[in-house]
Structure 1
Amino acid sequence: MTSYETNEALARARGTLDRVKLQSFEGLPTARRPRQGRSLAKRVAAIGGANAAILLVAAIIGLAVVPLGIFGALAVMMMMLAVTLAIAFAPGPRPVTVEKLAKSDLKALPMQTTRWLDAQRPALPAPAVQVSDRIGLRLDTLGKQLASVDDSTPAAADIRRLVGEQLPDFVRDYQRVPRELRGTERNGKTPDRQLVEGLELIEREIGQLTEELASNDLDSLETRGRFLEMKYKDGDPA
């Protein structure tokens, strides 16, 4: 086995282990958890909150208005069961399509692209899943920055092109390759390897866009820091 094949095998093994850890949620910060798991956690929290509210109202009625009795307690239990089932089986958000990405508002585009990318995880090799997780974190940061970005600026056009068009188109091109050929070397690289390298390049480009958007804030912080240093240097406010 060549060193390249060994590294690929190790990467796949690490990717499998990472996915098991992500599913268990043990020892991982919230930002690294799969969004499907976070959605489940939100439903559980909603069920807990709704049932707690029902119990609180029932307690207030029972103490301040009229004792509930056995039939009242049964009614409360039935209401809690109905609320639990309603929340548990409520339909989730509609899946994001590439066409929807193209029409997304700029400020919602990073979140929508992350949702779309999460849905592609089962069809990606383990090393690519690791890179897609890092892209998701980059997109989370980018989404926070876009609140102050005008949709008509060149930066906005670059973001929309990279995040809303080139990233999904690249992943879809890979998915069109038959599974039997994805590990077959062609022109020195396998499609699996090309996917990983392309996603890594996209991750770096998103990071570069993030740094460019933050440059004005960083310059302002540096300028203000120099001003404060000059004004209060050596503890002399004069």
Structure 2
Amino acid sequence: MSTERFDKVIARADRVMRQLDERDGAVREAARRERERVNADMMRRIGRVGVAIGVISLLTIVIGIITPIGMFGFLAAVGVAIGIAALLAFMPSGKSNATAPTADLPNGQMVQRFDSYIYRQRPALPAPARAELDAISRILPSLKQTLERIDDLNPDAQDARRLMSMHLPGLIDRYVNVPPAYRNQRDGEDVSVDERLVEGLHAGRGALEEISEKLARSDVAALETQGRFIKSRYGQERIDS
């Protein structure tokens, strides 16, 4: 009986900590972005279903004008429409599951998929690792805004893409595959599996921050150069005239 009470206390504490955790700004913003992605995917599905039903209805009308289809033909058309609608509505889109972004995605879509990936993997990680994911999540909106404007082959973009599609997801997936009973074991450097995960996430976060800052500095420098040119070319002449 005491064991049952202990389990209930632990479960209650876990719920409370999870609720407090989700009040954090980074987690709240990540949840909002994930809801927006899910809603956008739902609207695309609804649009595809509407188009499919419209096409089938139009074909049924055209065929009915050419040759009578009768009640059975009408019911067959309705059945086909329902079947296609169900197929389009429930077909996996590949965007709502907790899979890492693929390497062939454009920059902006890759950031969005990575954002969704770390948000969905977050509950499976220990608290220190979740803190690192939250710090990464804070970087992603500005990084997405910058990466969307540059070519996928840009060296800085390539570094960011490798981190988001290969290195960080590979680290997280390998951690998830380790049985919980082995995660406290220490390796030859006296580092546990949990600590190794946090170290890797921290290094990845630092790299993404550096890339984001470097790209932002390039934009600031370009703005400064353009502003100085306009001022030197037109500013004084306008004042003298």
> Contact 1:31–1:137 at 8 Å: present in 2 too?
no
> Contact 2:160–2:211 at 8 Å: present in 1 too?
yes
> Contact 1:113–1:163 at 8 Å: present in 2 too?
yes
In the alignment, structure 1 segments of 5+ residues that lack a partner are 1-14, 47-89
- Residues in 2 aligned to 1:205 and 1:16: alpha-carbon distance in whole angstroms: 33
- 1:18-56 per-position Cα deviation (integer Å, ceiling 9, x unaligned): 642244x4x84786453488459979xx9xxxxxxxxxx
- Residues in 1 aligned to 2:192 and 2:152: alpha-carbon distance in whole angstroms: 38
- 1:75-124 per-position Cα deviation (integer Å, ceiling 9, x unaligned): xxxxxxxxxxxxxxx879531423x5233222210110111111111210
- Residues in 2 aligned to 1:108 and 1:122: alpha-carbon distance in whole angstroms: 23
- In structure 2, the residue matched to 1:94 is 96
Q: 1:177 to 1:96 in 2, by over 3 A?
A: closer
- In structure 2, the residue matched to 1:21 is 20
Count of equivalent residues: 174
- Residues in 2 aligned to 1:188 and 1:29: alpha-carbon distance in whole angstroms: 32
> What TM-score do the two structures reach when normalised by structure 2?
0.58
Larger radius of gyration: 2
> Contact 2:102–2:165 at 8 Å: present in 1 too?
yes
Identity %: 29
- Residues in 1 aligned to 2:27 and 2:33: alpha-carbon distance in whole angstroms: 12
> Contact 1:22–1:33 at 8 Å: present in 2 too?
no
1:137 aligns to 2:138 (yes or no): yes
1:155 aligns to 2:156 (yes or no): yes
> Contact 2:107–2:148 at 8 Å: present in 1 too?
no
- 1:117-168 per-position Cα deviation (integer Å, ceiling 9, x unaligned): 1111121001111110111121222111112111222223222111111110
- 1:189-217 per-position Cα deviation (integer Å, ceiling 9, x unaligned): 11111111110110110011111212221
1:171 positional shift:
0.9
- Residues in 2 aligned to 1:206 and 1:115: alpha-carbon distance in whole angstroms: 17
- In structure 2, the residue matched to 1:174 is 175
Question: Structure 2: which amino acid aligns with 1:34?
Answer: A
- In structure 2, the residue matched to 1:212 is 214
Aligned with residue 201 of structure 2, among 191, 195, 199? 199
Q: Secondary structure at the match of 2:148?
A: helix
> Contact 1:22–1:32 at 8 Å: present in 2 too?
no
Aligned with residue 188 of structure 1, among 187, 190, 208? 190
Q: Secondary structure at the match of 1:101?
A: coil
- Residues in 2 aligned to 1:205 and 1:174: alpha-carbon distance in whole angstroms: 20
- In structure 2, the residue matched to 1:111 is 112
Provide the aligned C-alpha RMSD in A. 3.7
Question: Structure 1: which amino acid aligns with 2:124?
Answer: A
- Residues in 1 aligned to 2:106 and 2:217: alpha-carbon distance in whole angstroms: 23
Question: Structure 1: which amino acid aligns with 2:123?
Answer: P
Question: Structure 2: which amino acid aligns with 1:139?
Answer: L
- Residues in 2 aligned to 1:222 and 1:18: alpha-carbon distance in whole angstroms: 47
> Contact 2:122–2:130 at 8 Å: present in 1 too?
yes
- In structure 2, the residue matched to 1:71 is none
Q: 1:116 to 1:196 in 2, by over 3 A?
A: same
- Residues in 1 aligned to 2:157 and 2:34: alpha-carbon distance in whole angstroms: 31
